[in-house]
Amino acid sequence: MTRRTIGLCILSLFAWMGLATAQGPDKEAAALAAAEEWLGIVDAGLYGQSWNETSGYFRRAVMLDEWEQALQSVRAPLGGVLGRKVRRTVHATSLPGAPDGEYVVIQYEASFEHKKSAIETVTPMRDEDGRWRVGGYYIQ
C-alpha cells in the first residue's frame, strides 16, 4: 500500500468501529471547529496549505506532493461544495495503525457540483502541541 493510500485511508474506517469513548462537548466542539476550518482550506483548492494544517502524524505519513496529487485527482472533479452537514461523530483513543491519542471521527453528508451525494470522513486528532488538527480524510 502506498503512503498516499495510507494517508487517504488512514483513520477513515474507524467511524464504523465501536471505539467510542466519553469526551466532553468542549473537545468535540474544538475537533469540529478544526475539521471545518480545514475543510474550508480544501474547498478553496489550497491543497498544499491543507497539508500544512494537518497533524504531525499525517505529515510524517504522507508527503506534500503525494497529498496535492491525491486531492487534485479526488476533489477537483467533484466541483465546488454545495453543502455539507454533520452526520455522525465518534470519539476514540485508539485506532488501528495510528498512535494512541484523542480522535474524533466526523462523517459529513456533502453535496458537490458534480456529485449530488457523498460522505466525507474527517478525523481530527489532538496533535503533539495539544491543538486539534486533521489526521485523516476520505470521501465516498
Which residue ranges make up each domain of the chain? 3-139
**pLDDT surpasses 50 at 9:** no
The cell for 130 is 495539544
Give the rounded percent of residues in the chain with a pLDDT score beyond 90. Answer: 76
For residues 110 and 8, what is the distance between their CA atoms, to the nearest angstrom?
17
Q: For cell 488512514, what's the residue?
A: 10
For residues 42 and 25, what is the distance between their CA atoms, to the nearest angstrom?
25
Ordered strands of the 115-126 beta sheet: 81-92, 103-112, 115-126, 132-139
Buried b (16+ CB within 10 A) or exposed e, 10-19: bbbebbeeeb
The answer regarding whether domain 3-139 maps to CATH 3.10.450.100 reads yes
Report pTM. 0.82
For residues 6 and 97, what is the distance between their CA atoms, to the nearest angstrom?
10
Count of C-beta atoms within a 10 Å radius of residue 51: 23
Per residue in 92-127, pLDDT tens? 998 888 899 999 999 999 999 999 999 999 999 999
102, 34 contact by CB (below 8 A): no
Per residue in 58-94, pLDDT tens? 999 999 999 999 999 999 999 999 999 999 999 999 8
